[in-house]
Amino acid sequence: MRKLCLAAMSAVVVMWSMAACKHDVAAGSRGAAPPDPLTVHLTPELRNEIKTGSAQWQEVTTQQKVAARVETDASRVARVGSPVNGRITKMLVFEGQHVKQGQVLAMLHSNALSDAQFAFIRAYTQENLARQSAERAKQLVQSDVIGTAELEKRQAELLQTSAEVAALGAQLRGLGMTDAAISRLETSRQINSEYPITASISGTLIERKVTIGQVVQPADEVFLIADLSNVWLVAEVPEEHSASLYPGKTVLATVPALPHEPVTGTLNFVSPVVNPETRTVQARMDLPNAKELFKPQMLASMTFESRPQRGLTIPSTAVVREDNKDQVFVKAGADSWRLREVELGPEVADHRLVLKGITENDEIVLNGAFHLNNQRKQDMIKGAE
């Protein structure tokens, strides 16, 4: 009986010991911290492969890229209309056609023009009669047939009719008739109610706004002509970058539709005011366009350098791109370095402007970060095995 009790007690002790061992092993496994996947320990082989230091303050200029568009040069645009009321009878040109200055674009029939021509012919005839009457009166005065009062009366009538002819001639010029056409009207006495609408400049017909049979008035725009040998690149620059802009500043223009045609030029206009709705400042440059590759309303971009500013910079070789994030190795211990996410500006002269993430007091890997990151990845693979 006593032997049975001792055996039972021994079994209990053994089972308790085994349970205690399992508890200790489990506790030990829970207490062991897993390796940090962002940290790497420097091996002797890598010590000569990296260069360490800190971010440095220096004057930097950044490239600012803003949206832009191609527009017609306003100084090379003509809005063609008709100085007289009338109905379009002929259309002689179409959109996209190149036209020359003075070329007839359309013909219209105008009753107002024929009425003005009739009034001019009548006044011109009366002027001739008044001139002949004054000449006869002068001869009769010399022969003592009439008195000087009659001569003065006829001379006054001549002055009045001459003034009417001059006024009606000015009216015809206002209606678009040339001096040569008025001279022909004086001799031929033939009224012509057909009026030619002509191009005021040479260029490309951008828009035609009338059709045959349509009635137009002097206030109507009939054609739009633009000389496209030079166009504008217009950008709306956010006001925070506008201090960098001034007439004469060098900028780069690029048009996505013409990727092989970048143009370097200078600004010829910077708006003196800010658009209150968009909070932007308009900037403009000339685009030479002899081949007419740049077309109005094409989307484009304008790139320019900002004003020099003092900023914290690191070499581009210090940056590790992981998971679509910019990161650098920051010293975490005697021989350990840890990846830290940073926010960086654009690259300028092989350096990056630091916006957030580190300070000048942090020691980082300036060169060799690529090799160090490879070592970190190898350590992760070994740890997983």
pLDDT in tens, 149-204: 888 888 898 899 999 999 999 988 888 888 888 989 888 888 888 899 999 999 99
pLDDT at 30: 46
* β-bridge pairing 203-208 and 223-226: antiparallel
Residue ranges covered by each domain of the chain: 39-61+309-384, 66-73+229-305, 112-192
| Partners of 63 in beta bridges | 305
CATH number of 66-73+229-305: 2.40.30.170
Alpha helices per DSSP H over 193-259: none
Question: Which residues lie below 8 Å from residue 309, measured CB to CB, with a gap of 6+?
Answer: 59, 60, 61, 62
| Partners of 263 in beta bridges | 253
Residue 34 has pLDDT above 90, yes or no: no
Common-topology check for domains 39-61+309-384 and 66-73+229-305:
no
How many whole angstroms separate alpha carbon 147 and alpha carbon 355?
Answer: 103
What's the half-sphere exposure (Cβ side, CA atoms, 13 Å) at 110? 27
pLDDT digits (tens, 9 = 90+) for 257-298: 998 888 999 999 999 999 999 999 999 999 999 999 999 999
Q: Which fold has domain 112-192?
A: Helix Hairpins (1.10.287)
Tell me if the domain spanning 39-61+309-384 has CATH number 3.40.50.800.
Answer: no
Residue 19 has pLDDT above 90, yes or no: no
pLDDT digits (tens, 9 = 90+) for 217-252: 998 999 999 999 999 999 999 999 899 999 999 999
pLDDT at 20: 44
